[in-house]
Amino acid sequence: MRLAYNTVQLLSAPLLLLALPVLLCRPSKRRKLLQRFGSGLPGPGAYSGRVIWIHALSVGEVTSALPLVRALRSELPHDTIIFSATTTSGCDLAETRVAPFVDNVIAFPVDILPVVRHFIKRIAPDLFILVETDFWPNLLYELSAASVPAVLVNGRISARSMRSYQRFAPLFRPLFNKFDLLCMQTAASAAAMRQLGVAHDKVRTLGNLKCVVPESDRAPGSQAPPALSGRSPEQLLILCGSTHPGEEEMLFACGQTLARRHDIHLALAPRRIERSGELLRLAAQFGLSATLLTQRSTAGTAVTIIDTIGDLAALYGFADIAFIGGSLVPEGGHNPLEAARESCPILFGPHMEDFAEISDELLACQAAFQVRDEKTLLTTLEQLIQSPDLRRTTGLRSLECARHQGNVIDSHLALIRELL
């Protein structure tokens, strides 16, 4: 399968060569693209102590990695930590949030054999840690060939992913077995990994790193951002995180109805922030005045669009009610634990397939509400708005449910120590 993979790459090379001049002409893309081919990497021996290479795909994975990165820096102050991300937004977030705790932030290599070998030779890692996903055959095979231990942390397998992995089992089974250790978020994901044919002794259930919200991210008594701080103390903030097209219309429709009856402020954080302008226009179609978070003033508006990266987890701490996006449309949902960690009463739709075990646990603890559609969303929001006691008790249950995830960081550190 790997031979076929590299053959397809070779046959596709002319297309890449045709696209390169266009990409290199765009200053915003040029530096990252050159980095992905190995430009600017320090030479061998440039790093001191043991070298730990941590990789995260995009914004969500970078956020998951941050508590572990901080813990590793504290645990291994004299060793080198290299952090990479694949997407532009992931790199941007890593350069602001992760950079203070690591020795270098780099763009992830393209999975072309000579490039991958160049990266491994230059970085000379003693350990490779992959956060959640972004499985690349050449990298994992070459790390194994170089006797570099590889660890998957915060791993998860949704029902949708499982079907894909089973369909292409000849590719994924040997790929997953290249890991020395696979640390999964849930028992169900661990069982799925074993079902795929991964050696049982490599798979562990360690919980979800997103449950770990460092104290310094939002100190007690900290103030809301200026764009959200102009609200009256009585006004309730409904924060909708990681929203997608198709459900935003439902959220604005509910906001339009609720604004006539209650003193509320609606905030939407689109999954892709480049859609922020689109959401401003959509809010206007529902007769809702809206502003961007970066405009620093609500000025009596009904809606704030969160147009920044990496702030959602902290913003949940100022919300009275949280809605988890990607769940009213078939996108698989997003992780509700950031909201739970901030004692938010949580709502989500029927499509939480990617976080089924976590959402089921929240429902079993009566820490969340699952709605079917716009009508049930409106009804449930009405109930929460009208009952401070319901908001408080549901929020406390969500916090307790998040705490039950256990001492995730210490469990990860103990296993990582064994591989160094």
- Cβ distance 316 to 340 under 8 Å? no
All structural domains of the chain, each given as residue ranges with its CATH number in brackets, are 41-208+407-419 (3.40.50.11720), 217-403 (3.40.50.2000)
Number of helices (H), then strands (E), in the chain: 18, 14
Q: How does residue 404 score in pLDDT terms, banded at 50, 70 and 90? A: confident
Residue 418 among the catalytic residues: no
Report the pLDDT value the prediction gives residue 69, as an integer from 0 to 100: 96
- Cβ distance 141 to 406 under 8 Å? no
Report the pLDDT value the prediction gives residue 297, as an integer from 0 to 100: 64
Q: Is the pLDDT of residue 387 over 70?
A: yes
Report the pLDDT value the prediction gives residue 17, as an integer from 0 to 100: 62
Q: How does residue 57 score in pLDDT terms, banded at 50, 70 and 90? A: very high
Which spans in 94-217 are helix H?
Answer: 113-123, 137-145, 159-167, 169-176, 187-195
Report the pLDDT value the prediction gives residue 160, as an integer from 0 to 100: 84
Query: Is this model's pTM higher than 0.95 or not?
Result: no
Residue 100: exposure state from Cβ atoms within 10 A (0-12, 13-18, ≥19): exposed
Least confident piece of the model among 8-12, 177-181, 365-369, 407-411: 8-12
Q: Tens of pLDDT along 322-379?
A: 999 999 999 999 989 889 999 999 999 999 988 888 899 899 999 999 999 999 999 9
Report the pLDDT value the prediction gives residue 215, as an integer from 0 to 100: 47
Report the pLDDT value the prediction gives residue 100, as an integer from 0 to 100: 95
Q: Return mean pLDDT, the chain.
A: 89
Q: Tens of pLDDT along 206-215?
A: 988 877 655 4
Cα Rg of the chain (Å, integer)? 22
Q: What percent of the chain has pLDDT over 90?
A: 68
Q: Is the pLDDT of residue 13 over 70?
A: no
Report the pLDDT value the prediction gives residue 27, as an integer from 0 to 100: 63
Report the pLDDT value the prediction gives residue 227, as an integer from 0 to 100: 62
Q: Is the pLDDT of residue 67 over 60?
A: yes
Q: Is the pLDDT of residue 169 over 50?
A: yes
Report the pLDDT value the prediction gives residue 405, as an integer from 0 to 100: 63
Report the pLDDT value the prediction gives residue 263, as an integer from 0 to 100: 94
What is the torsion angle, in degrees rounded to the nearest 10, for the CA atoms of residue 378, residue 380, residue 385 and residue 390? 180
Q: Tens of pLDDT along 267-284?
A: 999 999 999 999 999 999
Report the pLDDT value the prediction gives residue 375, as an integer from 0 to 100: 97
Q: Is the pLDDT of residue 130 over 60?
A: yes
